[in-house]
Amino acid sequence: MAHADPYEDYPPLKPQQTGLVGKCPRCGRGRLFSGFLAMADRCEVCGLDYDFADPADGPAFFVITFACIPVVAFAVWMEVAIGAPYWLNALLTLPLLVLFCILPLRPLKGLLVAQQFIHNAHEGAIAGPEDRHGPGRR
């Protein structure tokens, strides 16, 4: 008796539909997170083990690149161009940093984990002697 493929009962889901809302990348119903940024151990609906998930610093990199740099540029512009006092600069830029830096971390982490699942991404490894000629070649 052949063992059934555990993925055959689940249609492929778009990472944007599952990852951005923190749902399981396989079934789309279970929770991906157990806390704000803490990953759950497995999906409570389909049982998918989330050990494959390792977005590392990817979400932080994207947040820093696309959110922190513009907010800091805005703060510097306020200081140089209009000579805003420090208290006004802090009053305007701190909420922007919270809004644009902390809030997108969870959806970005979910999206990267869902992308890893869809593309079957694994940690890199150095190829052994049997792997040097590519798959299926010796």
Total domains in the fold of the chain: 1
In a domain, 138, yes or no: no
pLDDT tier, 84 (very low <50, low <70, confident <90, very high otherwise): confident
Does residue 93 lie within any of the structural domains? yes
128: in domain: no
Predicted structure pTM score? 0.74
Q: Is residue 136 part of a domain?
A: no
The answer to whether residue 87 is domain-embedded is yes
The tens digit of pLDDT for each residue in 88-126 reads 988 999 998 888 888 899 999 999 999 999 888 877 666
Residue 4 lies in a domain: no
Work out the angle at residue 105's Cα, subtended by the Cα atoms of residues 102 and 111, and round it to the nearest 5 degrees: 160
For residue 76, the enclosing domain spans 15-121
Q: Is 117 within the bounds of a domain?
A: yes
What is the Cα–Cα distance from 126 to 105, expressed in whole angstroms?
31
Q: What is the predicted pLDDT for the residue at 8?
A: 60
